[in-house]
């Protein structure tokens, strides 16, 4: 049996290599061998080829070299093949296919054919997946909210089956890529016909119409190993082990298989990704050929997702509140347009707020939802807009006043994860919409309460024993209790403002990203949040209470060794152990000497600009050039992977306005360039900090992309405005 498959895979590989060769020859004739090419927004050239061979493809001539490597995989004796000790013959041809597919896609980009468009509907596929998206998804990959990835190849027997398979994957929070077709039909087309919202927001990402497009998710997944794993280009064993052990991907192949599907599948198996088919495929058994995952089959479409999860060994735990609509992070990104909206609250249209309040155990009744106001049902039935106050009272033996804000910040996710319900903002500037569809399914105001009590219990088990939710709908009540809430927000902010590194003896670690970046540890202090921006000191404190053996551990600061740079004995000791020896010592308040490591999901990168005697800051997603001569993606490629890189550091956005930001290097006065996006989003708090530093107009003295994108113009600008960094002691 395995012979049949091997020969199909080898046949497919030969065809792909030949196709790539022909396309490449044509391109070289028309454009010249030194014609350069880059996939959009990546620092990793042709990622799969780069990861496995270390060869950086930069132009058409390089593609020819890479293609000859693929050809060698096809023709040479097995033991000459670079990965022979690791893989069998059919799998070698599979990897050759992936190389060829990567080259084919590059050439299609050169000719303007990618991202592909569906001729019937005009739908534009995603095409190549950028580094930015890889980094954006970083935290979800590690905190368990996104337990796996499915490439769904081909077409389901009918549209409804396609929808139900995809919904099941969505409800299990699995990120879905769609590619390939069967006789002109595809899951993408099936979902489009059914009006399913596609895209990153709903985690259903059609990458292209052909099987060859499966290369996009594959070379996206290999970048996890480069970006987070810190594996070196060329370390093919390391990369393939990494993807097998840490990237929980699998393929669902719907409909008949052809040679191209077999050979692409063989390539994916190299990476540890099994395929589950709905047709009577011969199942590979490891007879002679070394295969660590298998191709499997399941004819029943209502069981195929479960089968895939078992084969790939995904751990999935789903907590769903008892509400009449679907629920899960996959629905978080969904928008509700005005036409689809049944009712809305807040958003400066009506008074509205949300507030978590700590109570004594005997003051509240667990899981009770109270909707106040006699006429709320009539008002709600009318639709349109209405005032809304949500008060969540929590009590628990391990509950602390400080956790109110931590729990409150989750309201956004709690509500947003319901299908057809949308939430934005927080506190007294929140905004909620309920869709017509959700209303039709029977969603009411009470469900807003049920969602919050269920999810607060789920997310904060062991610190929350009781949750009671009260929903106010009368304008008078909302306004009155909003005042109390505002008072409480204010007190909280004051208390938080007084929470400084010197006043606590315990910092926290975050080890979540170790599942992807094994030596990375975020050290989180009251004045320095995690570099992904998602965890601050209080979050970690709460997380430790919830799960004392989890990813956030207390670190006793120990003796202060260096006050200026922020170095402590306790932290060094902890880090040596927790980083597996990769980090010997850490300085919290400098970028110049033993700075914090980065995993890869940083919100921003700080880099020194030696000529300007300062630093620049660029945020993830910024695509322009920066004064250090590198774009964000390129910079990011040099910072991640859990190593210390003096002069470069990944940080959370809000760290910029902390008093401890590069405090040992001179603080915010060192910032000479920062994107407009950062300037605008931090303006208020930054200006306050600048006043404290005695340079109230500092923000205007900092250059941005409109002023310059190179260091020469930067220096001109800095001297013209008299930037303080020019007068400071040398940063080097």
User: What is the 3-state secondary structure of 58-90?
Assistant: CEHHHHHHHHHHHHHHHHCCHHHCCCCCCCCHH
- What x-and-dash track marks residues 334-373 binding Zn ion by CB under 5 A? ----------------------------------------
What does 30-41 look like in DSSP terms, one character per residue?
HH-TT-B---TT
Is the Cβ of residue 156 or residue 524 nearer to ligand SF4 in the bound state?
524
3-state helix, strand and coil shares in percent for the chain, rounded to the nearest 5: 45, 15, 40
Least Å distance, CB 507 to ligand SF4, is 12
Among 343, 599, 662, 714, contact with ligand SF4 (rule: CB under 6 A) = 599
Is the Cβ of residue 594 or residue 597 nearer to Zn ion in the bound state?
597
CB 35 within 8 A of CB 124: no
Least Å distance, CB 551 to ligand SF4, is 7
CB 8 within 8 A of CB 262: yes
Q: Binding partner of residue 276 among ligand SF4, Zn ion, none, CB under 5 to 8 Å per kind?
A: none
Kindly state the number of chain residues that form the binding site for ligand SF4, as judged by CB under 6 A.
Answer: 13
Alpha-helical segments (H) within 498-553: 537-546
Is the Cβ of residue 312 or residue 520 nearer to Zn ion in the bound state?
520
Give the Cα separation of 412 and 431 in Å (integer): 10
Least Å distance, CB 282 to ligand SF4, is 43
Q: Does 107 bind ligand SF4 (CB under 6 A)?
A: no
Q: Binding partner of residue 530 among Zn ion, ligand SF4, none, CB under 5 to 8 Å per kind?
A: ligand SF4
Find the part of the chain contacting ligand SF4 (CB under 6 A) among 149-157, 410-418, 492-500, 526-534: 526-534
Least Å distance, CB 584 to ligand SF4, is 19
Least Å distance, CB 136 to Zn ion, is 11
Q: In the chain, how many H helices and how many E strands?
A: 24, 23
Among 46, 532, 612, 617, contact with ligand SF4 (rule: CB under 6 A) = 532
List beta partners, residue 435: 341
Is the Cβ of residue 137 or residue 725 nearer to ligand SF4 in the bound state?
137
Find the part of the chain contacting Zn ion (CB under 5 A) among 247-255, 304-312, 599-607, 649-657: 599-607
Q: Does 512 bind ligand SF4 (CB under 6 A)?
A: yes
Give the Cα separation of 546 and 10 in Å (integer): 52
Give the Cα separation of 323 and 114 in Å (integer): 41
Q: Does 601 bind Zn ion (CB under 5 A)?
A: yes
Q: Does 513 bind Zn ion (CB under 5 A)?
A: yes
Is the Cβ of residue 530 or residue 614 nearer to ligand SF4 in the bound state?
530
Is the Cβ of residue 444 or residue 553 nearer to ligand SF4 in the bound state?
553
List beta partners, residue 434: 343, 421
CA atoms lying within 13 Å on the CB side of residue 174? 29
Is the Cβ of residue 277 or residue 656 nearer to ligand SF4 in the bound state?
656
Q: Does 96 bind ligand SF4 (CB under 6 A)?
A: no
Give the Cα separation of 481 and 488 in Å (integer): 11
Q: Does 432 bind ligand SF4 (CB under 6 A)?
A: no
Give the Cα separation of 201 and 176 in Å (integer): 11
Distance set, CA 263 to CA 6, 53, 322, 560 (Å): 8, 20, 44, 59
Find the part of the chain contacting ligand SF4 (CB under 6 A) among 232-240, 346-354, 400-408, 506-514: 506-514
Least Å distance, CB 709 to ligand SF4, is 28
Q: Binding partner of residue 616 among ligand SF4, Zn ion, none, CB under 5 to 8 Å per kind?
A: none
**Cα–Cα–Cα angle for 138, 316, 408, rounded to 5 degrees:** 60
Q: Binding partner of residue 535 among ligand SF4, Zn ion, none, CB under 5 to 8 Å per kind?
A: ligand SF4
Give the Cα separation of 720 and 701 in Å (integer): 9
- The SS3 of residue 643 is coil
Q: Does 535 bind ligand SF4 (CB under 6 A)?
A: yes
Q: Does 224 bind ligand SF4 (CB under 6 A)?
A: no
Is the Cβ of residue 445 or residue 599 nearer to Zn ion in the bound state?
599
Is the Cβ of residue 134 or residue 453 nearer to ligand SF4 in the bound state?
134
Q: Determine how many CB atoms are found less than 10 A away from the CB of residue 355.
A: 22
The enclosing H or E element of 259 equals helix 259-270
In 76-229 the beta strands, taken as DSSP E runs, fall at 149-154, 175-179, 204-206
Among 100, 356, 521, 599, contact with Zn ion (rule: CB under 5 A) = 599
Q: Does 534 bind ligand SF4 (CB under 6 A)?
A: yes
Among 601, 604, 618, 656, contact with ligand SF4 (rule: CB under 6 A) = 601
Find the part of the chain contacting Zn ion (CB under 5 A) among 133-141, 145-153, 493-501, 606-614: 133-141
Complete edge-to-edge strand list for the sheet that includes strand 506-510: 522-524, 506-510, 552-556
What does 286-310 look like in DSSP terms, one character per residue?
-SSS--SS-EEE---TTTHHHHHHH
Among 17, 24, 215, 531, contact with ligand SF4 (rule: CB under 6 A) = 531
User: What is the 3-state secondary structure of 451-497?
Assistant: HHHHHHHHHCCCCCCEEEEEEECCHHHHHHHHHHHHHHHHHHHHHHH
Least Å distance, CB 442 to ligand SF4, is 37
In 322-430 the beta strands, taken as DSSP E runs, fall at 341-346, 352-358, 368-372, 384-385, 388-395, 421-424
Is the bond preceding 287 in cis, omega lying within 30 degrees of 0?
no
Q: Does 180 bind ligand SF4 (CB under 6 A)?
A: no
- What x-and-dash track marks residues 139-178 binding ligand SF4 by CB under 6 A? x--x------------------------------------
**What is the residue whose two structure tokens read 């996104």?**
146
Is the Cβ of residue 234 or residue 329 nearer to Zn ion in the bound state?
329
Q: Does 5 bind ligand SF4 (CB under 6 A)?
A: no
Q: Does 151 bind Zn ion (CB under 5 A)?
A: no
Residues in 390-419 that interact with ligand SF4 by CB under 6 A: none
CB 625 within 8 A of CB 712: no
* Interaction site with ligand SF4 (CB under 6 A): 139, 142, 510, 512-513, 522, 530-532, 534-535, 599, 601
* Interface ranges with Zn ion (CB under 5 A): 138, 513, 599, 601
């Amino acid at each position: 049996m395995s012979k049949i498959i091997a020969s199909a895979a080898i046949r497919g590989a030969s065809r792909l290599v030949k196709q790539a060769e022909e396309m490449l020859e044509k391109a070289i004739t028309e454009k010249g061998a030194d014609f350069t090419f880059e996939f959009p927004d990546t620092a990793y050239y042709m990622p799969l080829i780069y990861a496995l061979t270390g060869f950086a493809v930069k132009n058409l001539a390089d593609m020819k070299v890479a293609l000859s490597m693929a050809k060698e995989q096809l023709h040479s004796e097995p033991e000459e093949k670079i990965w022979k000790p690791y893989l069998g013959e059919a799998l070698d041809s599979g990897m050759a296919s992936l190389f060829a597919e990567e080259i084919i896609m590059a050439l299609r980009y050169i000719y303007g054919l990618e991202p592909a468009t569906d001729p019937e509907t005009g739908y534009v596929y995603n095409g190549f997946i950028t580094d930015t998206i890889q980094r954006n998804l970083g935290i979800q990959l590690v905190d368990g909210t996104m337990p796996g990835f499915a490439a769904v190849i081909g077409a389901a027997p009918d549209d409804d089956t396609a929808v139900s398979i995809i919904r099941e994957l969505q409800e299990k929070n699995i990120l879905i890529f769609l590619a390939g077709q069967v006789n002109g039909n595809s899951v993408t087309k099936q979902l489009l016909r059914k009006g399913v919202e596609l895209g990153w927001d709903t985690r259903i990402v059609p990458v292209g119409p052909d099987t060859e497009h499966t290369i996009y998710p594959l070379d996206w997944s290999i970048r996890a190993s480069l970006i987070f794993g810190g594996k070196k280009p060329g370390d093919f064993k390391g990369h393939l082990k990494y993807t097998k052990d840490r990237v929980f991907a699998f393929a669902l192949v719907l409909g008949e298989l052809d040679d191209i599907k077999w050979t692409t599948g063989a390539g994916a198996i190299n990476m540890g990704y099994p395929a589950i088919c709905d047709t009577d495929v011969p199942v590979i058994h490891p007879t002679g050929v070394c295969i660590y995952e298998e191709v499997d089959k399941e004819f029943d479409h209502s069981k195929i997702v479960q089968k895939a999860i078992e084969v790939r060994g995904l751990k999935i735990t789903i907590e769903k509140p008892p509400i009449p609509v679907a629920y899960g992070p996959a629905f978080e990104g969904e928008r509700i347009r005005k036409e689809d909206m049944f009712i809305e609250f807040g958003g400066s249209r009506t008074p509205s707020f949300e507030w978590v309040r700590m109570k004594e155990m005997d003051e509240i009744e667990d899981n009770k939802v109270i909707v106040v106001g006699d006429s709320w049902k009539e008002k709600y039935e009318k639709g349109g807009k209405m005032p809304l106050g949500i008060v969540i009272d929590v009590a628990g033996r391990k509950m602390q006043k400080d956790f109110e804000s931590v729990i409150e910040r989750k309201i956004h996710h709690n509500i947003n994860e319901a299908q057809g319900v949308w939430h934005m903002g927080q506190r007294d500037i929140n905004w909620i919409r309920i869709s017509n569809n959700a209303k039709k399914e029977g969603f009411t105001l009470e469900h807003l309460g049920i969602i919050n009590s269920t999810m607060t219990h789920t997310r904060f088990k062991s610190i929350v024993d009781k949750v009671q939710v009260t929903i106010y709908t009368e304008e008078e009540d909302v306004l009155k209790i909003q005042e109390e809430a505002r008072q409480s927000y204010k007190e909280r902010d004051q208390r938080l403002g007084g929470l400084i590194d010197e006043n606590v003896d315990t910092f926290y670690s975050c080890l979540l990203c170790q599942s992807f970046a094994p030596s990375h540890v975020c050290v989180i202090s009251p004045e320095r949040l995690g570099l992904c921006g998602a965890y601050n000191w209080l979050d970690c404190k709460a997380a430790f209470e919830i799960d004392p053996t989890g990813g956030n551990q207390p670190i006793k600061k120990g003796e202060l060794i260096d006050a200026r740079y922020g170095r402590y004995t306790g932290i060094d000791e902890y880090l040596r152990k927790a980083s597996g020896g990769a980090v010997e010592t850490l300085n919290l308040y400098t970028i110049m000497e033993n700075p914090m490591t980065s995993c890869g999901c940083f919100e921003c990168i700080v880099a020194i600009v030696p000529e300007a005697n300062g630093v620049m800051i660029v945020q993830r997603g910024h695509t322009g050039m920066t004064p250090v001569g590198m774009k964000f993606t390129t910079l990011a490629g040099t910072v991640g992977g859990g190593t210390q890189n003096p002069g470069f550091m990944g940080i959370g956005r809000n760290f910029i306005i902390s008093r401890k930001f590069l405090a040992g290097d001179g603080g915010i006065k060192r910032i000479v360039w920062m994107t407009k996006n950062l300037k605008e989003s931090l303006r208020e708090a930054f200006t306050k900090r600048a006043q404290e530093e005695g340079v109230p107009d500092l923000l205007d003295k900092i250059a941005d992309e409109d002023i310059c994108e190179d260091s020469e113009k930067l220096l001109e600008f800095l001297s013209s405005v008299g930037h303080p960094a020019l007068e400071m002691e040398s940063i080097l």
